[in-house]
């Protein structure tokens, strides 16, 4: 009897060990595949960050030029040469007046990760927190500012159309130089307090939008750091 007990006990132990080893091997394979997918996702995010940095740097330059142009036309000292250092085009000045600049950074990889459920593979709390802050809070704050700017632009178009239609005619007249167009615009601003006050408000929104973009860029750098740190681990 004792011999059979020992025999069956050994067989049981062998079976348990076999199952345990098989389970362990399976777990190792699963973890290896998950790590492979994790590195793939983190690398994709790293690539997208590079694209976003280029986009935000371009946006920062354009937004700063917008602020500088407004400051020049609102200043008591009007210097056409300073304006021409930013642009030699009437269209660029007019664009600054009546069009708003949207904010649409490349987010396709991030959106794909969210939609496919791949976000679960990201284990780093630092990466997850920075990603969420960048693409929800920071992004939303900038777009809210853009929407307010859009409303202000619509109101500005009404003011110019009603009180200064000659500005639109001048911008389309190839015979009128940027110097002449800029002087017409400066005269209109100085003579119309409603137009001037509207531009001052817009300038404040430009400054706010720029500050929000700086916060966005700060979070972007933080995310880049967290991604690099996490990728080094794998």
Cα–Cα distance list, 69 to 5, 82, 151 (Å): 93, 9, 20
Domain boundaries, the chain: 39-233
Residue 95 and residue 168: Cα distance in Å, rounded?
A: 11
Residue 97 and residue 159: Cα distance in Å, rounded?
A: 11
> Tens of pLDDT along the chain (234 residues)?
555 555 555 555 555 555 555 555 455 545 666 678 888 899 999 999 999 999 999 999 999 999 999 999 999 888 888 898 898 888 999 998 888 889 999 999 999 998 988 888 888 999 999 999 999 999 999 999 999 999 999 999 999 999 999 999 999 999 999 999 999 999 999 999 999 999 999 999 999 999 999 999 999 999 999 999 888 876
Residue 197 and residue 74: Cα distance in Å, rounded?
A: 10
**Per-residue pLDDT tens over the stretch 184-201:** 999 999 999 999 999 999
DSSP per-residue codes, 60-96:
HHHHHHHHHHHHHHHSSS--HHHHHHH-S-HHHHHHH
Nearest Cα to 60, choosing from 50, 52, 72?
A: 52
């Amino acid at each position: 009897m004792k011999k059979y007990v020992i025999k069956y006990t050994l067989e049981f132990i062998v079976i348990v060990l076999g199952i345990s080893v098989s389970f362990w091997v399976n777990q190792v394979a699963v973890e290896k595949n998950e790590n492979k997918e994790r590195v793939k996702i983190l690398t994709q995010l790293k690539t997208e960050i590079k694209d976003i940095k280029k986009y935000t740097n371009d946006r920062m330059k354009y937004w700063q030029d917008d602020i500088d142009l407004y400051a020049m036309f609102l200043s008591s000292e009007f210097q056409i040469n300073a304006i021409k250092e930013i642009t030699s085009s009437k269209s660029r000045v007019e664009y600054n007046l009546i069009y708003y600049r949207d904010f649409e950074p490349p987010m396709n990889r991030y959106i794909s990760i969210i939609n496919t459920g791949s976000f679960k593979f990201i284990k780093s709390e630092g990466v997850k927190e920075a990603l969420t802050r960048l693409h929800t809070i920071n992004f939303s704050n900038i777009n809210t500012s853009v929407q307010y700017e859009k409303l202000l632009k619509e109101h500005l178009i009404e003011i110019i159309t009603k009180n200064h239609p000659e500005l639109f005619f001048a911008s389309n007249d190839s015979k009128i130089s940027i110097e002449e167009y800029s002087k017409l615009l400066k005269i209109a601003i100085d003579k119309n307090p409603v137009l001037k006050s509207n531009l001052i408000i817009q300038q404040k929104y430009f400054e706010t939008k720029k500050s929000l973009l700086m916060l966005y860029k700060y979070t972007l750098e933080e995310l880049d750091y967290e991604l690099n740190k996490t990728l080094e681990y794998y």
